[in-house]
């Protein structure tokens, strides 16, 4: 029997730790929290200091019994959950639920799972930090109050089954506000002038950009007219040495951002992979807002750099965390062993580890040294306008030899590459071509998951442990989707001066295309507007950031968590009561888009039971039996929004379903259903692809879709039997199988699916054993 019990949150972590401890230790897992607030009840006793009512979920009761039994006979119990507030709360819940005693129960913490770190933690046990526990309780209780008091109002005012959350609602607001900023953006045009000059040798080219833009075509044309008779010469050549420094080591948010930019990982995907790397002992703890590195890590980094690249590539750097009240201020995310550039694991784990390793090594490397050259070209005797050519060359790569941080999509990459041709002051240049191209101011960029994390961090909203769950939650609730936005055609003008002549041409381009961006749904926008109207303090960025600061103060032991709850609730609860009592003529989010010219009835768009819908007419409150007075409804198509859809677009929806034509003697009907646009043919529903519209789809286009569907079904069907129509041999996702009376049966590997007879199929079914679950269900029915 082991004398000591170590309890951690996850089996993977337990397995790694067990390797470093001797036979006197047994490592067990709590599989996360072993108790929590009741799932479908408020579970907060407001009248008694906001006391939480915790319960052990049914699925954890057996585990709790096992942990109790093991700990009751142990000499010492060590609670080794993660070192952040959530981990501290898990340790406290274990202590309380298992009925542990203070004299033989200790808390141990470590930020990396290595033998040295674990043995050091065993030498330095401590008591559970109740300040950290109370900070976690404060967050949990406050979020439960907001969710349970606001959500029922949303059910009544907007749509059933909706929910609200403190941080999640603020994240949705950021995305909604940005979408409206984009919708309201008016682009301004100007003309950008670029020139290609020929150097005195007659063959070398120099590209340069004018140092100003012209506001319209008239100004740009006038400048090109001047250029026809101008002399161009090199006015100045400036060379300037510059240095670039490496980015600091990763925090949670910067890892999430860089993994999105470089590897295409979602925020939650990054955290899942990082958790595996941590639990396997490859990296330090992955929820941190510290950029500090331990002396051991600094020394190991120096060894790795000098051995691999030489002394000149090494520079000691000590980074300091800027964020105040950092709850996880221990160490940045780094490899546990700086001598290990590679690990074993799956492809994603290797990629993320490689990113962390290179970033850590790079932060201790020398600055990159570059030389920036700027060439100024004069335009005759004009003083205002100059053509500028600039380029950078790397004279010493430094940290760039290993790693360079990726820029955000909405920021310019400051590293200009390219070597400019050698020139001298006074060199006369001839013009090959000068173009004045109409360009437009760019709208603000939509958020990616990574840029949203960055913005939340800037505003002081959330903490390392909350970024990923927040972004996942708003998508799960369908307030936000991660998707693409199609661009629109835009015309632009170009003036070209070549061989003394100016040509004027118009061109087309696609603008506004977005991929993998966070887009608010109609439901998200309606819920946001309701919350902004009636709960403006909850969605106020400063309020949410101040709440986070109060949690930090609680964690420092300088503030009682119940006082924070009391102060919040005294303001919040009256707001809930006021919002609940408000009566509105229309449903929240309903918008009248106009009047139907044919019937004279009003036309609305709003949130229906299954999503955004259009409504023609209003119900007669006096005569509800008159069907003629009942409104008619139509679903909006994907890409249409209740906020921007026009009357003309809505009226086209009411023309559906419509008869498109005939095929093989059967009628073809196009319409929009709960799952999107479709054509109905011979009792079958066939989805209409994105590039076609149910209001305009032709008979020929519909026929093509029908034929494709028939071909697909024929490919799927391997064998049918006239004697038993319910028996089929089909092609499935995982290979051929037998389908019979709603059940699927696996075909033996040595059988040829095409050669199976009806009798063969019946034998296979007869010899297929029932699944264990099915046998149990049958037994219960008896």
Active site residues: 285
Closest C-alpha among 234, 164, 224, 227 to residue 199: 234
CA distance linking residue 191 with residue 512, whole number of Å: 19
Given a contact cutoff of 8 angstroms between Cβ atoms, the answer to whether 206 and 233 are in contact is no
**242 forms bridges with which residues in the sheet?**
370
What tokens appear for 717 in the block? Answer: 């069907």
Strand 4-8, strand 25-29: pairing: parallel
Residue whose token pair is 């400051």: 414
Is the C-alpha dihedral spanning 16, 18, 19, 21 positive or negative? positive
Per-position DSSP letters for 670-728, written without gaps between them: EEEETTEEEEEETTEEEEPPTTS-TTT--HHHHHHHHHHHHHHHHHHEEEE-TT-TTEE
Upper half-sphere CA count for residue 650 (Cβ side, 13 Å): 27
Within 13 Å of residue 486, how many CA atoms lie on the same side as its CB? 7
Separation of CA 447 from chain center:
9
Query: For 593, phi and psi rounded to 5 degrees?
Result: -95, -15
Q: How far apart are CA 283 and CA 260, in angstroms?
A: 19
Q: How far apart are the first and last CA of the chain?
A: 44
**Which residues, other chains included, contact 291 with Cβ-Cβ below 8 Å and sequence gap of 6+?**
248, 249, 251, 319, 320, 321, 332
Element (H, E) at 490: strand 488-498
Picking from 561, 462, 472, the residue whose alpha carbon sits closest to that of residue 89 is 561
Distance between CA atoms of residues 285 and 464, nearest Å: 11
CB atoms inside a 10 Å sphere around CB 34: 22
Q: Which helix (H) or strand (E) holds 570?
A: helix 561-581
d(CA 86, CA 135): 9
Integer CA distances (angstroms), 149 to 159, 531, 542, 747, in order: 15, 12, 22, 54
CA–CA separation, 280 and 13 (whole Å) = 7
Helix (H) or strand (E) holding 240: strand 232-244
Are 64 and 98 contacting, i.e. CB atoms less than 8 angstroms apart?
Answer: yes
Among 53, 56, 71, CA closest to 4: 71
Q: Which residue has the tokens 């510059």?
A: 242
CA–CA separation, 420 and 423 (whole Å): 9
DSSP 8-state secondary structure symbol assigned to residue 478: T
Q: Kindly report the number of other CB atoms within 10 A of residue 692's CB atom.
A: 17
> For every residue of 137-201, which 3-state class applies, written as one string?
HHHHHHHHHHHHHHHHHHHHHCCCCCCCCHHHHHHHHHHHHHHHHHHCCCCCEEEEEEEEEECCC
Q: What is the dihedral of CA 406, 408, 412, 416, to 10 degrees?
A: 10
Helix (H, G, I), strand (E, B) or coil at 412: coil
């Amino acid at each position: 029997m082991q004398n000591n019990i170590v309890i951690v949150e996850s089996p993977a972590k337990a397995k790694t730790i067990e390797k470093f401890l001797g036979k006197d230790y047994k490592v067990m897992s709590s599989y996360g929290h072993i108790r929590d607030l009741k799932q479908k009840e408020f579970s907060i006793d407001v009248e008694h200091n906001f006391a939480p009512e915790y319960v052990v979920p049914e699925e954890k009761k057996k585990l709790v019994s096992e942990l109790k039994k093991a700990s009751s006979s142990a000499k010492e119990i060590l609670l080794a959950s993660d070192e952040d507030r959530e981990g501290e709360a898990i340790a406290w819940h274990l202590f309380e639920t298992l009925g542990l005693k203070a004299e033989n129960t200790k808390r141990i913490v470590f930020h990396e799972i290595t033998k040295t770190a674990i043995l050091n933690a065993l030498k330095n046990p401590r008591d559970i930090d109740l300040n950290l526990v109370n900070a976690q309780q404060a967050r949990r209780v406050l979020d439960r109050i907001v969710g349970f008091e606001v959500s029922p109002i949303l059910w009544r005012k907007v749509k059933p089954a909706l929910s609200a959350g403190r941080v999640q609602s603020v994240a949705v607001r950021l995305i909604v506000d940005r979408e409206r900023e984009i919708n309201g953006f008016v682009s301004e045009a100007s003309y950008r002038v670029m020139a290609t000059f020929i150097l005195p040798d007659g063959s070398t080219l120099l590209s340069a950009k004018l140092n100003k833009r012209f506001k319209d075509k008239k100004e740009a044309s006038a400048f090109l007219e001047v250029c026809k008779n101008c002399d161009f010469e090199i006015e100045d050549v400036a060379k300037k040495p510059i240095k670039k420094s490496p980015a600091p080591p990763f925090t949670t948010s910067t890892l999430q951002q860089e993994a999105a930019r470089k590897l295409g990982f979602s925020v939650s995907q990054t955290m899942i992979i990082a958790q595996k790397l941590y639990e396997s002992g490859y990296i330090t703890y992955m929820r941190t807002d510290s950029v500090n590195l331990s002396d051991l890590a600094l020394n190991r980094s120096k060894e790795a750099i000098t051995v691999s690249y030489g002394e000149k590539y090494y520079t000691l750097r000590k980074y300091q965390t800027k964020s105040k009240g950092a709850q996880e201020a221990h160490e940045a995310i780094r490899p546990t062993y700086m001598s290990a550039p590679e690990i074993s694991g799956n492809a994603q784990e290797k990629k993320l580890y490689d990113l962390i390793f290179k970033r850590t090594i790079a932060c201790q490397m020398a600055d990159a040294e570059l030389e920036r050259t700027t060439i100024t070209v004069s335009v005759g005797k004009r003083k205002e306008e100059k053509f500028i050519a600039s380029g950078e060359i790397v004279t010493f790569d430094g940290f760039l030899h290993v790693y360079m941080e990726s820029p955000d999509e909405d920021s310019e990459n400051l590293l200009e590459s390219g070597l400019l041709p050698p020139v001298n002051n006074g060199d006369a240049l001839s013009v090959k071509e000068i173009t004045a191209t109409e360009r437009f101011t760019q709208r603000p960029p939509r958020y990616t998951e990574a840029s949203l994390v960055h913005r939340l961090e800037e505003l002081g909203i959330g903490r390392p442990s909350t970024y990923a769950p927040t972004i996942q939650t708003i998508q799960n609730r369908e307030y936000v989707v991660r998707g693409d936005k199609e661009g629109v055609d835009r015309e632009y003008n170009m003036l070209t001066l070549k061989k003394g002549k100016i040509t004027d041409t118009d061109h087309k381009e696609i603008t506004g295309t977005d991929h993998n961006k966070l887009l608010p749904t109609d439901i998200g926008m309606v819920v946001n507007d309701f919350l902004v109207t009636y709960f403006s303090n909850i969605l106020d960025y400063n309020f949410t950031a101040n709440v986070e600061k109060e949690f930090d103060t609680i964690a420092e032991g300088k503030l009682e968590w119940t006082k924070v709850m009391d102060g919040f609730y005294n303001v919040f609860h009256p707001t809930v009561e006021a919002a609940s009592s408000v009566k509105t003529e229309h449903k929240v989010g309903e918008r009248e888009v106009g009047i139907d010219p044919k019937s004279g009835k009003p036309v609305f768009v709003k949130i229906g039971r299954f999503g955004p819908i259009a409504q023609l007419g209003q119900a007669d409150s006096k005569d509800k039996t008159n069907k003629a007075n009942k409104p008619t409804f139509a679903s909006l198509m994907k890409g249409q929004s209740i906020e921007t859809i026009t009357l003309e677009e809505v009226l086209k929806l009411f023309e559906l379903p419509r008869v498109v034509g005939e095929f093989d003697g059967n009628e073809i009907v196009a319409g929009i259903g709960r799952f999107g646009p479709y054509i109905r043919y011979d009792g079958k529903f066939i989805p209409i692809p994105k590039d076609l519209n149910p209001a305009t789809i032709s008979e020929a286009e519909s026929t093509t879709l029908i034929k494709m569907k028939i071909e697909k079904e024929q490919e799927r069907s391997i064998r049918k039997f006239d004697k038993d129509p319910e028996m089929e041999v089909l092609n499935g996702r995982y290979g051929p199988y037998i389908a019979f009376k709603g059940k699927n049966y696996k075909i033996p590997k040595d059988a040829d699916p095409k050669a199976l007879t009806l009798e063969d199929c019946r034998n296979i079914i007869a010899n297929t054993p029932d699944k264990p679950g099915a046998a149990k269900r049958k037994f219960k029915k008896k």
